[in-house]
Structure 1
Amino acid sequence: MDMLHITDLEAAINHWRECAPAGADAALAPQLAALAELYARMVIERRDTVSAAQLSTPARQAWLDWYAHTPDAPCIAICSTSQGDAVCKGCGRTEDEVRDWPALSPWAKRAVWRRITREGTALRFTRYAERARSPG
């Protein structure tokens, strides 16, 4: 099941705060308002995830628009799964995640990104961190 984690929601909110700051009347941009409403519900309910199916249309679209501005694959062109490793030393994804990446939903891709970032053991986070940050 596709789930939205609160950390990705916070990142999307911060993106929209930068892209569309509140005006002089303190009104929030529609994208920000939709995400803020969802965030408030999650905080009140003490939830760190919510089913993507439960998102309102404006919140879903605002999140997907933020997602479109994030890096897609964590690959840094050092793929050890092609050498038989179960987990890639370069990006930290499992062999199945590397193989199935094009078919994964944005929600599933973000779950993988959260896991590999939290683990922080792949070369993308250690020796080749500068390569992962470079735009090209």
Structure 2
Amino acid sequence: MAYIHITDLELAINYWRQHEPSVDGISLPGHTRVLAEIYAHMVYSRVTRVDEKYVPEAALSAWRLWYATTPDTPCIAICSTSQGDAVCKGCGRTFEEVQLWPQMTPVEKRAAWRRITDEGTAWRFNKYAERAVEGFGALSNQ
């Protein structure tokens, strides 16, 4: 099963609020409205994720359009799975996720993104971020 997390709905809603603002400050334009209906139901039901098969097509379409504006892959071009690691040190994806990424659905990809972001152990989240800050600091001191 592929699930959409509530925070991804929030991101999509905020994207559409910015790109299709309310004309009167009260009513919600189409994309925002269909996503907000799912979001409200989730909040009311106190759930943090919803199986994509239960998301109405209009909301799923709005979510997919938002998704198309996000980075597709967490890859940082340092793939340790090619060296035999079960989990890539660079991006945090499993060997299977790296291999199947082109065939994965947007919902499956977002689930992988959520997992690696929550774990925060991949180099994309620490070693290179630290180096960038260190490099910026060194440049600003010159």
- Do these two structures clear the TM 0.5 threshold for a shared fold by scoring above it? yes
Residue 99 (1) aligns with residue 99 (2): yes
Gap runs ≥5 in structure 1: 132-136
The one-letter code sitting in structure 1 at the alignment partner of 2:67 is Y
- Scaled by the length of structure 1, what TM-score is found? 0.91
Residues 74-89 of structure 1 correspond to what in structure 2 (within 5 A)? Answer: 74-89=74-89
Distance 2:47 2:7 in 1: 11
Deviations 1:16-66 (A, max 9, x none): 111111112522110000000110001111111111111112101100000
Which structure has the larger Rg? Answer: 2
Gap runs ≥5 in structure 2: 132-142
Runs of 4+ in structure 1 displaced over 4 angstroms? none
| Aligned partner of residue 89 in structure 1, secondary structure | coil
Residues 100-119 of structure 1 correspond to what in structure 2 (within 5 A)? Answer: 100-119=100-119
Q: Which residue of structure 2 aligns with residue 27 of structure 1?
A: 27
Distance 1:81 1:57 in 2: 36
* Cα 1:11–1:25 shift into 2, 3 Å: closer
Deviations 1:78-126 (A, max 9, x none): 1010011111010000111101111111111100000000111111011
* Cα 1:8–1:130 shift into 2, 3 Å: farther
Q: Which residue of structure 2 aligns with residue 46 of structure 1?
A: 46
Q: Which residue of structure 2 aligns with residue 71 of structure 1?
A: 71
- Scaled by the length of structure 2, what TM-score is found? 0.88
Q: Which moved more, 1:70-79 or 1:24-33?
A: 24-33
Percent identity for Structure 1 against Structure 2: 58
Q: Which residue of structure 1 aligns with residue 121 of structure 2?
A: 121
Q: Which residue of structure 2 aligns with residue 60 of structure 1?
A: 60
Q: Number of paired residues?
A: 131
Distance 2:130 2:108 in 1: 25
Residues 125-136 of structure 1 correspond to what in structure 2 (within 5 A)? Answer: 125-129=125-129
After superposition, the CA RMSD in angstroms is: 1.5
